[in-house]
Amino acid sequence: MKVMKFLSLVTLVLLVLSCDQKTTSNKPIQTEIDSVSYAIGMDVGKNVKASFDDFDEELFVQGFMNVLDSTNILLDEPTAAAVVRTYFQKKQQEEAAKRAEASEKNKEEGVAFLEENKTKEGVQTTASGLQYIVLKEGTGEKPTTDSKVKVHYHGTLIDGTVFDSSVDRGEPAEFGVTQVIKGWTEGLQLMSEGAKYKFFIPQDLAYGANPRPGGPIQPYATLIFDVELLEVK
């Protein structure tokens, strides 16, 4: 079982730590195997820290030594495997519940934000639910689904958190009109070259339940963009 192999490796590290608690100086790295050994210890320590909120090192090492000595074993192997499996399953369920709660909160906050926002001066709402404000009208051509565009944009969450900005990078972006989220595809076609709009994009016209993993955009987040259409190609 992969989890049990992982825990066995962790035990080696903790065993060394527990047997050398009085040592205040660090052993220097002198050889290649020293470097490898230290790097493995770092990796295991990082994983333990990420995997366990609470951990009893003494019992952990005790279990390791009991198996080596074949004495005073408190749990048989099937029970031990079941305990570990249940622990991680429970943790996964708790994390899934937290994500679901956060997603529902994002939905509710987005709906409330858009309901209030659509009553503000200058805000227009399309049939799809996209909201926008014309900051500056353009005089050039309008893009179509076949067009490529060059734009400057500044994207934030409804709390003001900036998650992406070509303006901050100082470099415009270029892409096809259909290569972006639905809210952008629709909004760009409302604009003329040279225009500046602010888009308020509902979650179902943005990334919905599937934003980029690990990114700042959470599931079901409503997004805000300031967009300047520099060129239609």
Burial grade of 134 (CB within 10 A; 0-12, 13-18, 19 or more): middle
220 is catalytic: no
132 is catalytic: no
Among 163, 142, 161, 139, CA closest to 153: 163
Q: Which of 6, 163, 204, 226 is catalytic?
A: 163
Q: Which tokens is 215 given?
A: 């990114």
Q: Which of 6, 133, 181, 226 is catalytic?
A: 181
Burial grade of 114 (CB within 10 A; 0-12, 13-18, 19 or more): buried
Taking phi over 0 as left and psi of -120 to 50 as alpha, with beta for the rest, 170 belongs to left
60 is catalytic: no
- Helices in 73-226 by DSSP H: which ranges? 77-117, 166-169, 182-188
Q: Which of 197, 207, 220, 224 is catalytic?
A: 207
Q: Which of 133, 164, 204, 226 is catalytic?
A: 164
Strands 173-176 and 162-165 turn out to be unpaired
153 is catalytic: yes
225 is catalytic: yes
Q: What are residue 132's DSSP bridge partners?
A: 124, 199
199 is catalytic: no
Q: What is the enclosing helix (H) or strand (E) of 200?
A: strand 196-201
Rg (Cα) of the chain, in Å, rounded?
27
**CA 1 → CA 6, 8, 12, 55, 206, distances in Å?**
9, 11, 17, 20, 40
Q: Which of 60, 153, 200, 220 is catalytic?
A: 153
Catalytic residue numbers?
Answer: 153, 163-164, 181, 207, 225
